[in-house]
Structure 1
Amino acid sequence: MSLDARLVVRRGDFRLDIALSIGAGETVALLGPNGAGKTTALRALAGLTPLTDGFVTIDGRDLSAVPPEDRRVGVVFQDYLLFPHLNARDNVAFGPRRQGVDRRAAHAVAERWLDRVGLAGLGRRKPRDLSGGQAQRVALARALAVEPALLLLDEPLAALDARTRLETRAELHRHLAAHPGATLLVTHDPLDALVLADRLVIVEDGRVVQEGDAATVTARPRTDYVAQLVGLNLFRGHGDGHAVRVTDDLVLTATDIVHGDAFVAFPPAAVAVHPRQPDGSPRNTWPAVLTDIQRHGDNLRVRLAGPIVVAADITPAAAAQLDLRPGRELWAAVKASETRAYPAA
């Protein structure tokens, strides 16, 4: 049960135009900033938003003109959208009943799914009597009870607190691994994507800007959004061997060899901050001005303006020694061995 689709949707000045392929048993995460078109894509696959152009096929069957209720698509929305007047069992049984299954058999299906998601014995509870994690699991059971060829998850963990999110993420991973159909996970959370998905597809402004497995995407980001998502400083320039010119006044050296249009990336932890121009091993140094400082885990993350704008992670002790404050003139340094360069094309 694989998906092959090209989704073209025009809404005012916005145009979504992306191709998606998801294999049987595969989970693909669709990531992107707000307004990128993620939810529009999900609704188009579900048949809730009409296509301007393109197609949606599952196992070769064109679903473009098929109404939502006949698509064998299960959807878990961000706010779950459980029917408030139905108990958990009847919420899960709703799909099988719509498929023509009689009430007793549909209730039996619902009870099995509630047991599988760890909610045995809670079938008579109304949505208002469920915790956030329990409501999410009922919504998942309801989506899976129709044996969907395509499972769509729209920010399924966003409404949960941190502790419940951790537990539910692990539970969701187990169910996705057992799902034989294709799964699309729409999320803005990179951790959800990395834990739950086999492959990442990044969309910006209605188009795909990067896709691949997690290792490929995180090692070689191709836009500022992706770089921020994976926690890297990213710059575009022109490569000439080990050197990449990123501005008229700054050339960065890397151990990689690139020629022509190229990206340079390095983590904030690789950026050393000095009160004056350093001597010795760093081959990449430039003057900078501190513009912002924030706590980041056990360290501090500072933003440095200059020929390039970079983020750097430093310890509180180092910050005290450097007398860091906005407007402070400093020097930034990155070793060539901690700088990655790769073709932009």
Structure 2
Amino acid sequence: MTAALLDARLVVDRGAFRLDVPLRVAAGEVVALLGPNGAGKTTALRALAGLQPLTDGHVTLAGTDLDRPARGSWVPTERRPVGVVFQDYLLFPHLTALENVAFGPRRRGADRRAARDTAREWLRRVGLAGHEHRRPRQLSGGQAQRVALARALAVAPSLLLLDEPLAALDARTRLETRAELHRHLAAHPGATLLVTHDPLDALALADRLVIVEGGRVVQEGDAESVTARPRTDYVARLVGLNLYRGRADGDRVRVADGLHLTVADRVTGEAYVAFRPAAVVVHPARPDGSARNAWPATVSGVQRHGDYLRVRLDGPIAVAADVTPAAAAQLHLTPGQEVWAAVKAAETHAYPATG
């Protein structure tokens, strides 16, 4: 990785919860911080913005310490070269779009005319020329998001922080705004940290993913490596895979008492086995033949999942299976029903649990 513009170790103690997350982001890089609710994503963003003091660790940006408790270093929020786009945008309701965007440059010392010129240029860049005198209540959700982005970028931040920037938008506006946001992030010369729980936003916008659970980093890497080899149940669900940890001996992995899965990869020792819900076939009785792994299961739930039905199965392992509506009707799938689940070895992917 190239030299980091942002070099941080974010340690925050909040009662029984402890955040301890190392972060490095290079100039021009977009890193997505992903995790379930309560993982510590927002706490991390607030610490970088200076809204949450660190208990320990450090925040160093472009070689300057913004927060290092051990040395007593602390830079207030308003003096940090950081731009923030909050989930609800937090535009000033009494100010026009132009005044909202000009606010940052004014706070950084620009005179009124220069700040307005900067704001006008940024509104043009985000496609809002002609909307300068509209107040937030006169803007659509997508327009408000673009004003918030323009306001954050108008101060030429070394670090841009995005807190669930698309969460408040409807599906159609979200798709259009995501593409627009990608264009602006690609042009941003500083470091960018995107905090989100949405895998589509992360995969579409970020160069690298950092997955946080329980205040700790559990996995990181580019999208291809993370999606190919998930290391926790959360990451597996995020990328739509069934995931199991077990003990491997060649092409067999023991994933539960009495259940060994034959896999396509040869692995020894602690290993993960992953396969897609679409690879799971549900049978009314034990299937014939030896080409499949098969085990008894009980239907625990059925719900629509796109063009398929997502069937939840309990048994020696809990598994998700995607079946067509026609197959579900033929099987008469209902909660509590006893069935058999099967998956071909060729549809599995096994890999070491360490390294």
Among 140, 153, 167, the residue aligned to 2:149 = 140
Residue 299 (structure 1) aligns with: 308
Q: What's the counterpart of residue 209 of structure 2?
A: 200
Question: CA offsets, 1:48-85, max 9 Å, x none?
Answer: 00000010111211111111111110000000000111
Q: What amino acid maps onto 2:48 in structure 1?
A: L
Matched residue SS, 2:203? helix
Are 2:84 and 1:63 aligned? Answer: no
Cα distance in 1 for partners of 2:215, 2:336 equals 38
Aligned residues: percent identity? 77
**Secondary structure at the counterpart of residue 228 of structure 1:** helix
1:32 match: 35
The one of 132, 140, 149 aligned to 2:158 = 149
Per-residue deviation, 1:281: 4.9
Determine the C-alpha separation between the residues in 2 that align with 1:187 and 1:290: 32
Alignment partner of 1:8 out of 3, 6, 11 = 11
Contact 1:37/1:204, CA 8 A, preserved across alignment:
yes
RMSD: 0.8
The reply to whether residue 45 of structure 1 matches residue 45 of structure 2 is no
SS in 1 for 2:87: coil
Cα displacement string for residues 161-209 of structure 1 (whole angstroms, at most 9, x for unaligned residues): 0010000000000000000000000000000000000000000000000
Q: Residue 319 of structure 1 is aligned with which of 328, 332, 339?
A: 328
What TM-score results when the alignment is normalised by the length of structure 1?
0.99
Partners of 2:300 and 2:145 in 1: how far apart? 42
Aligned equivalents of 1:6 and 1:327: distance in 2?
A: 48
Decide which of 234, 241, 245 is 2:250's aligned counterpart.
241
Q: Which moved more, 1:333-342 or 1:281-290?
A: 281-290
Deviation of 1:296 (Å): 0.7
> What is the one-letter code of the residue matched to 1:125?
R
| 3-state DSSP of counterpart to 2:317 | coil
How far apart are residue 280 of structure 1 and its match? Answer: 2.4
| Secondary structure of the structure 2 residue equivalent to 1:2 | strand
Given that 1:38 and 1:203 are in contact with CA atoms closer than 8 Å, whether structure 2 keeps it comes out as yes
Matches within 5 A, 1:148-227: 148-227=157-236
CA contact (8 A) 1:275 1:322 kept: yes
Aligned counterparts of 1:91 and 1:190: Cα–Cα separation in 2: 30
Match of 1:251 among 247, 252, 260: 260
Residues in 2 aligned to 1:281 and 1:172: alpha-carbon distance in whole angstroms: 50
CA distance in 2, matches of 1:282, 1:293: 27
Q: Distance in 2 between matches of 1:84 and 1:248?
A: 60
* Structure 2 Cα separation of the partners of residues 53 and 33 of structure 1: 24
Deviation at 1:283, TM superposition (A): 2.9
Instruction: From 328, 331, 336, give the equivalent of 2:337.
Output: 328
- Farther-moved stretch of structure 1 (279-288 vs 329-338): 279-288
Show the counterpart of 1:279: 288
Cα distance in 2 for residues equivalent to 1:251 and 1:91: 61
Match of 2:70 in 1: none
Instruction: Report the 3-state secondary structure (helix = DSSP H, G, I; strand = E; otherwise coil) of the residue aligned with 1:79.
Output: coil
Residue 239 of structure 2 corresponds to 230
Of 85, 105, 118, which residue of structure 2 is paired with 1:109? 118
Q: Verify the 8 A CA contact 1:282 1:333 in the aligned structure 2.
A: no
Structure 1 ranges of 4+ moved more than 6 A: none
Q: Deviations over 1:112-169 (max 9, x none)?
A: 0000000001010111111110000000000000000000000000000001000000
Q: Is the 8 A contact 1:47 1:67 kept in 2?
A: yes
How far does the alpha carbon of each residue in 1:16-60 deviate from its partner, in whole angstroms, 9 at most, with x for none?
Answer: 001000000000000000000000000000000000001011121
Gaps of 5+ in 2: 68-73
Alpha-carbon distance in 2 for matches of 1:325, 1:282:
27
SS in 2 for 1:173: helix
Pairing partner for 1:121 from 130, 144, 148: 130
> Aligned partner of 2:315: which letter?
G
Counterpart of 2:125, as a letter, is R
Write the letter of the residue equivalent to 1:256: D
CA contact (8 A) 1:76 1:143 kept: yes
1:255 Cα deviation after fit:
1.1
Task: State the alpha-carbon separation in 1 of the partners of residues 336 and 136 from structure 2.
Answer: 53
Tell me which residue corresponds to 1:92.
Answer: 101
Task: Supply the AA of the counterpart residue of 1:309.
Answer: A
**Secondary structure at the counterpart of residue 13 of structure 2:** strand
The one-letter amino acid paired with 1:77 is: F
TM-score w.r.t. length of structure 2: 0.96
The whole-number CA distance in structure 2 between the counterparts of 1:171 and 1:223 is 32
Unpaired segments ≥5 residues, structure 1: none
Write the distance in 2 (CA, Å) between the matches of 1:343 and 1:246: 13
SS at match of 2:21: strand
